[in-house]
Structure formats: structure tokens, C-alpha cells
Amino acid sequence: MTFSSARPGLDAALKSLREGDTLVVWKLDRLGRDLRHLVNTVHDLAKRGVGFKVVSGHGASIDTTTPAGKLVFGIFAALAEFERELISERTKAGLASARARGRSGGAPYKMTAAKLRLAMAAMGQPETKVGNLCNELGVTRQTLYRHVAPDGNLRDDGKKLLEGKIKQIINNS
């Protein structure tokens, strides 16, 4: 079971529960930050043999120590899973739509074709200080060495970057 460090009182209460105990909360929103967190927490409690009961508010009919309460909570769990699946479907559809429009997700690459050419020329010079070159180009050492060898020759990622740039130029012509 994973506990949140931002809620030490709840964490301590959850850790202290033993099989046969029942966790009683004043209102449903006092246990879970969102429906998924709530469902996961109560599921973890059930696996440990711990009951769950809500005293007041909208969730007052939930008492997992009774068959009716288990039913109500099961419906909540099914709705939470349904919600997760819908979000996942929408995300996948949005990504596919963006790709169809020629857009790809994520941050732009730090290493560009122009920076790569400068790095190749500079790395071929023995007096080049790699740290200064990285600062000038705005890339990390790891990024630099992933694209260019210490002698200034291209590595696989550098070749891919330049090949991709050439394909892009050809496609735009």
C-alpha cells in the first residue's frame, strides 16, 4: 500500500489498522483525494481484511462490512475504472489526431542540426573545452556525446538527426 507523505495522520491511521478492524471516516472526501485514490485505498483495506464505513455526507450508505455497502462501493469502483478507460481512450485519440496533423508530443530536442554541425567542428579541435561547448550550445554533456564522438565524428543519434533534417527539407520542397 502506498501512503501520501502529505497526510501523516491518515498514513498513521492506515498503517495501524489490523485484520477485522473497520476504518470509520466522517465524510467520504476525508479519505480520498479523488475517486481513483479512494477506490484504491478501500481496495487495499479490503485485501488486508479491514472494513470501511462513512458516517455522514453523500457516502453515508457505504459500509463495506455489509453486503449493501460492498455493492455501493463496487459500483463506485466500476465507475472509477470506466472513467480511467474513457480518459485513456481520449488521450490516445488526441495523440493520434495530433500525429495525423504532423505534430508529435514532448519537448523539442535540444540538439539541432545547426548545433550538431558546430559541435562536430569544435569537437575536432584539441583545445575545445567540452563544458564550455555544452554551455554555448545549451545542451548537456550526455546529449553532446550521444550525438558527437570526442574526435568530432558523428554517432548514431547525430546521423539520425541529420538524416531526419534532410528528409524534412525534401518533404517541404
Mind listing the pLDDT tens digit for each residue in 130-168? 999 999 999 999 999 999 999 999 999 999 988 877 666
d(CA 122, CA 125): 5
pTM above 0.95, yes or no: no
Examine the fold and report which residue of 100, 121, 146 is the final residue of a domain before the chain moves on.
100
User: Does 5 score more than 60 pLDDT?
Assistant: no
Quick one: cell of 44?
487495499
Q: Which domain holds residue 154?
A: 113-167
Mean pLDDT of the chain: 86
- The residue among 136, 143, 65 whose CA lies nearest residue 111 is 143
Cα→Cα distances 100→13, 32, 40, 92, 125, Å = 50, 38, 36, 12, 43
Examine the fold and report which residue of 54, 70, 100 is the final residue of a domain before the chain moves on.
100
Residues 6+ apart with CB under 8 A from 116: 147, 148, 154, 158, 161, 162
Contact (Cβ atoms closer than 8 angstroms) between residue 53 and residue 64: yes
Examine the fold and report which residue of 100, 127, 143 is the final residue of a domain before the chain moves on.
100
My answer on whether 65 and 18 are in the same domain is yes
